[in-house]
């Protein structure tokens, strides 16, 4: 699964004040219009620019390709419990068969058996596996998730998000993405 980014749109990568992306998935990008507005409102520093410029009768400016916020935005400690974040935690694959298609989510302990809708009881599942398991317990269905469901940290989701880069990454962004990858000699 990739996020579609159009290189013709000239988006700006948005970094926090510590020069880390606000998010990896979806990648924190602003339209060039929003980036310019933030520059004029003095909310960001321009780190890198495109070769493309915009002009008015009295002003010309190269479009920012990377900006950093002037004020640090404290990342949340616990990610929101959403369908998307469950899929991201489970790397967009069915926890029963490994399929990436037709994903939904499954209660490992079904609600009919007292299971709750929590991080620790919900996994990504494809529709066929979800229907096959139904409201049976894992033992009854003979279906066990590949990994035990857990509440991820924001860092867990960032790490998984790095596995699904957008279809387009501008060269000026590369120094600010994937900070913990090994440097080439």
Kindly report, residue by residue over 120-172, the tens digit of the pLDDT: 999 999 999 999 999 999 999 999 999 999 999 988 998 888 888 777 788 99
**Cα 37–40–41 angle (5° rounding)?**
85
pLDDT at 39 over 90: yes
Q: Taking 50 as the threshold, does the pLDDT of residue 79 lie above it?
A: yes
pTM listed for this prediction = 0.74
Q: Which secondary-structure segment (H or E) carries 156?
A: helix 154-161
Quick one: what percent of the chain has pLDDT higher than 70? Answer: 93
User: Could you give the CA distance from residue 39 to residue 121 in angstroms, rounded to a whole number?
Assistant: 44
Phi, psi of 24 (to 5 degrees): -100, -30
8 A C-beta contact, residue 106 and residue 77: no
Average pLDDT, the chain: 90
Confidence at residue 4, expressed as pLDDT on a 0 to 100 scale: 59
Beta strands in the chain (DSSP E): 12-15, 29-30, 44-55, 60-69, 103-107, 122-126
Lowest mean pLDDT, pick from 47-51, 125-129, 173-177: 173-177
Over range 99-121, report the average pLDDT: 96
How many other C-beta atoms lie within 10 A of the C-beta of residue 169? 15
């Amino acid at each position: 699964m990739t996020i579609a980014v159009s290189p013709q749109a000239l988006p700006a990568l948005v970094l926090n004040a510590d020069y880390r992306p606000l998010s990896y998935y979806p990648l924190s990008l602003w339209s060039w219009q929003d980036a310019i507005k933030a520059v004029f409102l003095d909310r960001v520093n321009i780190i890198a620019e495109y070769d493309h410029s915009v002009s008015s009768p009295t002003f010309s400016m190269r479009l920012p390709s990377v900006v950093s916020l002037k004020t640090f935005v404290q990342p949340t400690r616990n990610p929101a419990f959403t369908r998307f974040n469950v899929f991201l935690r489970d790397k967009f694959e069915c926890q029963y068969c490994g399929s990436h298609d037709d994903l939904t989510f499954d209660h490992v302990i079904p609600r009919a058996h007292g299971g709750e809708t929590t991080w620790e009881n919900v996994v990504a599942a494809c529709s066929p596996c979800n229907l096959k398991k139904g409201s049976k317990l894992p033992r009854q269905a003979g279906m066990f998730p590949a990994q035990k469901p857990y509440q991820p940290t924001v860092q867990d989701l960032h790490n998984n998000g790095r596995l699904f880069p957008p279809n387009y990454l501008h060269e000026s962004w590369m120094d600010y993405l994937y900070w913990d990858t090994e440097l080439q000699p």
